[in-house]
Amino acid sequence: MANPRIGIIGAGQLGRMMALAAYPLCIDCRFLDTAQNAPGGQVGPIHVGALDDADALRALAGEVDVLTFDIENVPIEVLEQVAGQVSVYPQPKVLAAAQDRLAEKRLFRELGIPTAAFVPVDDEHDLDRAAQTLGWPIVLKRRRLGYDGRGQRMADDSASLVHGWRELDRAPAIAERWVNFERELSLIGVGGAEGSLRFYPLSENVHADGQLVCTIAPYEDEDLTLTAERWLEKLMRRYDYRGVLTVEFFHTDAGLLANEFAPRVHNSGHWTIEGAQTSQFENHLRAILGWPLGETAPRGHAAMLNLLGELPDRARVLAMRGVHFHDYGKQPRPKRKLGHCTIVDPDRDRLLKRFAPLQALIAETNC
């Protein structure tokens, strides 16, 4: 039988790590990306083209068995056009909900998954309504094209809310009540053929300025895990979902609130490469090809640290015992995700002790 071929829209680090997971399984991966030197290019061929270039997408679709994506800004109309030509997983209709924060929040509500209180914002009158309904502080988020804290403004009063809305170019937005959370958690699930479903353990995530800095997994809480799994299952069953799906939560004293979902492999799951029986990347490939899903059990406790803005000295990192170093091959730029490091240890306390010097070293360069 010929080797399966997968087309990945976007050749960022997520696509690159998918293609790396594909290698041992003899799966052929190729990409569509705007840049020839994107991270995936070291692992598979890149078709250079805009993500909304229907011809480029059709050309890629013509060469592969399944099409998937590592980026969420793929225009749905273009994706739906090729969906008649080749299988597209995860399904474009799930991606459509994830691209619009309002649709996403409404979907959570419809499925009985609690979220922070929110008010849609289309004009300045809605800002007054938001202030009355939500109180202060408020987080204003663009409905579309916001990620890693971009496209968001915090407001403590009416003046800063109006100012923030103008800074966001008066784009359609949602105003959200500020959540005083204890911690942030995420759950990654994978949906395969014939309704098969598996979940990784909960991960605890630390963000700075809206961007993920580190993840520690598993976060061991049986009740929270069961609740989060039940919610993810509802979401995945709604769409007969195929592939990896991630939901991010705020853990508050009243329980979990869903913040957002991503119909793709996720930064908070990078620890699964070394820290789980099967990585999220391999399981995504297995799921979209209709192959049996791999075990999602952890191999111990794992800590993952993002390398942001500038890479640390490689030799110093590699000299630290048991540190796994991932360099995505990207040019440095403040806040840009250039790589990550992971440590795995059977014992959580020992893991945290080993993690501290790595954090100190990375703090010298992260920017």
Torsion of CA 231, 151, 102, 172, to 10 degrees: 180
Residues 6-45 that bind ligand AMP (CB under 6 A): none
Shortest distance, CB of residue 187 to ligand AMP, whole angstroms? 14
Helix/strand/coil for 141: strand
Q: Alpha-carbon distance 212 to 222, whole Å?
A: 24
Which residue type, as a one-letter code, is found at position 233? E
Residue among 139, 214, 247, 303 that touches ligand AMP (CB under 6 A): 139
In the bound state with ligand AMP, the residue whose beta carbon lies nearer, of 247 and 288, is: 247
Q: Alpha-carbon distance 292 to 312, whole Å?
A: 38
Shortest distance, CB of residue 96 to ligand AMP, whole angstroms? 18
Q: Could you say which DSSP state residue 115 is in?
A: B
Task: Say how many residues touch ligand AMP, by CB under 6 A.
Answer: 13
Residue among 49, 120, 172, 210 that touches ligand AMP (CB under 6 A): 210
Residue among 13, 99, 215, 259 that touches ligand AMP (CB under 6 A): 259
Shortest distance, CB of residue 184 to ligand AMP, whole angstroms? 5
Residue among 97, 102, 116, 175 that touches ligand AMP (CB under 6 A): 116
What are the C-alpha distances in Å from 300 to residues 143, 248, 295?
38, 22, 14
In the bound state with ligand AMP, the residue whose beta carbon lies nearer, of 146 and 172, is: 146
Q: Alpha-carbon distance 225 to 298, whole Å?
A: 14
Pairing of strands 243-252, 255-262: antiparallel
Beta strands in 104-210 (DSSP E): 118-121, 138-142, 152-155, 173-177, 183-191, 197-199, 203-208
Shortest distance, CB of residue 353 to ligand AMP, whole angstroms? 26
Element (H, E) at 121: strand 118-121
Residues 224-253 that bind ligand AMP (CB under 6 A): 248
Residues 73-112 that bind ligand AMP (CB under 6 A): none
Segment interacting with ligand AMP, rule: CB under 6 A, options 71-79, 171-179, 294-302, 310-318: 171-179
Instruction: Note whether 178 binds ligand AMP by CB under 6 A.
Output: yes
Shortest distance, CB of residue 131 to ligand AMP, whole angstroms? 15
Q: Alpha-carbon distance 29 to 184, whole Å?
A: 33
Tell me how far the alpha carbon of residue 338 is from its chain's centroid: 16
Contacting residues toward ligand AMP, per CB under 6 A: 116, 139, 146, 149, 176, 178-179, 184, 207, 210, 248, 259-260
